[in-house]
Amino acid sequence: MARLLAFTFLQLFLLLLLPPSSTFLTQARPFNILKSGSFASPFSEGFTDGLSRIGAVKNSGSSPGEGHKFGNAHVLGGIKNSDPSPGVGHKFTNSHTLGSIKNSGPSPGIGHKFTLGNMKDSGPSPGAGHSYTNSQTLGGIKDSGPSPGVGHSFANSQTLGSIKDSGPSPGAGHSYTNSQTLGGIKDSGPSPGAGHSYTNSKTLGGIKDSSPSAGGGRSFANSLTLGGIKESGPSPGAGHSYTNSQTLGGIKDSGPSPGAGHSYTNSQTLGGIKDSGPSPGGGHSFTNSQTLGGIKNSGPSPGAGHSYTNSQTLGGIKNSGPSPGGDHSFTNSQTFGGIKNSGPSPGAGHSFTNYQTLGGIKNSGPCPGADHGFSNA
């Protein structure tokens, strides 16, 4: 470039030294060294080509650092009014198409990075965030409360329904493992202990508004069908345990069980046992009875009471007087009807063993002792 400028000044100096005749000959033609086909030398023609290939560079801002880098870009849209880039600036490498980027602010550091789709306004992630592992379908999880501990973990679940408005989980939270279908669990109360555990269950119905379980909670193991259990009272001891039961009817509004609670083992059908009074001792005992009619409003039995053995049919026994002996015992009965409003039994109480059908048990009173025991029914 410097050589071309020096040669141009030399040509101007030689033109000044030309005779007047030569000046007269060139006076009618404009002086344009940039026009092709003029009398300039090949050096001046190269200079004019260099000037023609330089486009207009207008109003470019200062770039104290590396400025803008565009490498191997096929199409770059209009980049207008870009502020100065004191650092690395904007980097776009090996991009096929870059749309118009307008009014971009200063980039003092690395600049803006965009990778693999739109990531907009993402908040900070100080911890591990939410983890979902090998899940095929996760339903809508909305408005979940804070999880200061482990939070909610879902592992190898095929279908998880919508879990909404779940309360905080200060401990291990709710754990669901290898479950095929879990219905809607809504508005569950806090679980200060182990919480509710469901293991290898095929179908669990709606469990709603369960009160807190300060002890072991409610455990359901290997149950095919569990009906609705609603508004159960607190169980400070072992609570209610149901093991290997095919069908359990509705148990509603059961009173507190400070002792062993109600235990039902291997029972196919339990009918309605309603409004039973407290049983401070062994409860009511009925063994292998085929048919027992309605026993209602029976008085207290401090002693041996009435004994019936191997009876096929027992009619309604109502308003029986006190029995100072061993209480009422019924053996080898197949069917027990509704037992309602039975009085307290300070002795062994009523016990039911090896029975095929028991009706619904509702509104049972408190059981301070061993309560009602049902085994191998």
For 166-182, write each residue's pLDDT tens digit: 555 555 555 544 444 44
Dihedral pair phi/psi, residue 215, rounded to 5°? -105, -125
**Residue 117 above 50 pLDDT?**
no
Number of H helices, E strands in the chain: 3, 24
Of residues 109 and 377, which shows the higher confidence score?
109
b vs e for 174-184, b when ≥16 Cβ sit within 10 Å of the residue's Cβ? Answer: bbbeebeebee
Number of Cβ atoms within 10 Å of the Cβ of 165? 11
Percent of the chain with pLDDT over 70: 4
In 3D space, the residue among 123, 65, 63, 114 whose CA is nearest the CA of residue 93 turns out to be: 114
* Cα-to-chain-centroid distance, residue 28: 90
**Residue 255 above 70 pLDDT?**
no
Q: Tokens 């083992």 appear where? A: 265
**Residue 213 above 60 pLDDT?**
no
Q: Give the pLDDT band of residue 67 (cuts 50, 70, 90).
A: low
Average pLDDT, the chain: 51
Q: Which two tokens stand for residue 117?
A: 């789709």
**Residue 13 above 70 pLDDT?**
yes
Q: Give the pLDDT band of residue 258 (cuts 50, 70, 90).
A: low
Looking at residue 173, the DSSP 8-state letter turns out to be -
User: pTM of the predicted model, to two decimals?
Assistant: 0.10
Instruction: Give me the pLDDT at residue 150, please.
Output: 55
Q: Give the pLDDT band of residue 241 (cuts 50, 70, 90).
A: low
Overall average pLDDT of the 359-374 stretch: 47
Least trusted range by pLDDT, from 85-94, 187-196, 368-377: 368-377
Q: Tokens 């401090």 appear where? A: 302
CA angle at 363 for the pair 359 and 365, rounded to the nearest 5°: 115
Least trusted range by pLDDT, from 99-113, 118-132, 193-207: 193-207
Dihedral pair phi/psi, residue 40, rounded to 5°? -70, 165
DSSP string of 183-242?
A: ----SPPP-SSS--EEES-S------SPPP-SSS--EEES-S------SPPP-SSS--EE
Q: Give the pLDDT band of residue 12 (cuts 50, 70, 90).
A: confident
Q: Give the pLDDT band of residue 5 (cuts 50, 70, 90).
A: confident
Overall average pLDDT of the 185-205 stretch: 48
**Residue 308 above 50 pLDDT?**
no
Residue 310 backbone class (left: φ over 0; alpha: ψ -120 to 50; beta: rest): left
Overall average pLDDT of the 266-286 stretch: 50
- Separation CA 245–CA 155 (nearest Å): 27
Instruction: Give me the pLDDT at residue 10, please.
Output: 78
**Residue 9 above 70 pLDDT?**
yes
Instruction: Give me the pLDDT at residue 16, please.
Output: 72
Instruction: Give me the pLDDT at residue 7, please.
Output: 78
